[in-house]
Amino acid sequence: MPTLLWFRQDLRLQDNPALMAALARREAIIPVYVLDDAGDGGWPAGGASRWWLHHALAALDADLRARGSRLILARGESGAELDRLRRATGASAIFWNRRYEPSVIARDAALKARWTAEGVEAKSFNAALLHEPHTIANKQGKPFQVFTPFWRHCLELQVEAPARLASSAQIASPERWPASLELAELALLPRIKWDSGFRAAWTPGESGAAKRLKLFVADAMEAYSDRRNTPGVDGTSMLSPWLHFGELSPRQIWAAVQAVAKESGVFPPSNGARVFLSEVGWREFAHHLLFHFPHTPERPLRSDFESFPWADDAGGVKLRAWQRGLTGYPIVDAGMRQLWATGWMHNRVRMIAASFLVKHLRLSWVHGARWFWDTLVDADLASNTLGWQWTAGCGADAAPYFRVFAPVLQGLKFDSEGAYVRRWVPELAKLPAENIHAPWEAPASVLAAAGVRLGKGGNYPAPIVDHATARNEALAAFKRIRGGDISVRE
């Protein structure tokens, strides 16, 4: 009898444990994707993620058809839709790969228990992580809350080799396919065409992931540790959206890095490769924290931050300025505009922009997390939560409360020639490098020559807050809740 292969955030055929297990049954396989917004526990995919998902599903269906299969699409409550398909097809097994969001874990556990009680072979597998959260603990048997010892522990563990599906392998089809929605019926694409920049920047799908990984490890990985903080160059892997949707597995990344290191004769891997793998480690750490501290997408890990004195933003004026890239601080605005245009932002600039929201504007990190959730193609609940709580100083391994990124200094340090700002804030493109990160300090003649008019009625805003004043107010607010030492200890 057929097996239902339930796809979720594992939209690939290579290194897919659930698929390999289904193939081992030597029965027909019915691949299924169910769009279940309610089942995501208050965090349905945002607009940018839905764009990616549409194209990822199209690519997966094409890959399946090349192997004699296809993808069945449904919408609704996952359990109900899979039960309907099970009755319609006579399927005796349901296989899937695990997710780690709190609501999904609870839902999946209930489904597995019910299906098993009904005589269905219900099995789940790890396809998303090098090491699952429930398998990792510190010497006290508790969750890690500091990255360095967490990653040191992980590096001592064996990483399973990725499973390879032969290029000639076919997937057995049922005698009759069940009814399926058309992809357009899922309504994942935007009604207003704001996605032209997405189409230019990305190629969703397993083949796009493989090409990007191959290009990165061959051309950019060695210099990664030196170039990853420079937003004006192509120095990062940009693999995060493919990783989130499971078009690429961390095991595949691990294997690719090890293979390049061995081929080059530099083994263990070089510094650039080690730093890059540590970023994969941060993703693992994020899932570790979300699994063990499921309240953190909505509330701070450190309970004393529940009473943080956030600023009043009447009418959301400052929040909208930040969202639109109109803060008057060029490096912040460049990042927010890159995010809107491409669905992605360079990681160094993410930290700068996030710090600006929570420490310069003193607006809650929750506002930032929600905005990133809707606008990032790589929006991932675990990583998004970790990043924002790290910046705000209220999570595990958080940035020190007294660390307030100075936007001008950050711009001068990491975008010294202004290439990044010129690309994303074109109204400042003609300013000299020495003025581009602080245009309000430029002489009037320099501004005029560059066609820059600051402030109300101009073409670029004046700073919405003064850096020194905002920094002092942020430190005062942190000290109000700090009491004793708030640093996290392992």
* Structure confidence by residue, pLDDT tens digits, 246-297: 999 999 999 999 998 777 666 557 788 999 999 999 999 999 999 999 999 9
351 within some domain: yes
pLDDT digits (tens, 9 = 90+) for 108-125: 999 999 999 999 999 999
Same domain, 362 and 266: no
Per-residue pLDDT at 483 exceeds 70: no
Verify that 287 and 410 share a domain, yes or no: no
Q: Is 193 among the domain residues?
A: no
CB-count burial class (<10 Å; 0-12, 13-18, 19+) for 196: exposed
Same domain as 461, residue 431: yes
Model pLDDT for residues 223-234, shown as the tens digit of each residue:
999 999 999 999
User: Do residues 255 and 317 both lie within one domain?
Assistant: no
pTM: 0.95
- What average pLDDT does range 440-451 have in this prediction? 98
CA dihedral over 34, 37, 38, 40, signed as positive or negative = positive
Residue among 76, 45, 354 nearest 85 (CA): 76
Residues 339 and 436 in one domain: yes
Same domain, 87 and 37: yes
**144, 136 Cβ separation under 8 angstroms:** yes
For the stretch 19-40, pLDDT in tens is 999 999 999 999 999 999 999 8
Average pLDDT on 51-60 reads 98
Number of domains the chain is built from: 3
Do the Cβ atoms of 2 and 174 come closer than 8 Å?
yes
Does 146 lie in the same domain as 118?
no
Question: Domain residues for 396?
Answer: 303-482
297 lies in some domain: no
Residue 186: inside a domain: no
CATH code assigned at 218: 1.25.40.80
Residues 80-107 have pLDDT tens digits of 999 999 999 999 999 999 999 999 999 9
Last residue of a domain, one of 110, 126, 142: 126
Residue 196: its H or E element: helix 196-201
Reported for 154-161, long-range contacts at CB under 8 A and 24+ positions apart, including other chains, are 154/130, 154/281, 154/284, 157/130, 157/131, 159/130, 159/251, 159/254, 160/251, 161/251, 161/255
Compute the mean pLDDT over every residue in the chain, rounded to the nearest whole number. Answer: 94
Active site amino acids: 279, 282, 310, 347, 365, 388
Same-domain check for residues 312 and 394? yes
105 shares its domain with 135? no
**Residue ending a domain, choose from 126, 145, 179:** 126
Q: Which amino acid is at 83?
A: D
76 and 221 housed in the same domain: no
Domain for residue 464, yes or no?
Answer: yes
Select from 126, 141, 172 the last residue of a domain: 126
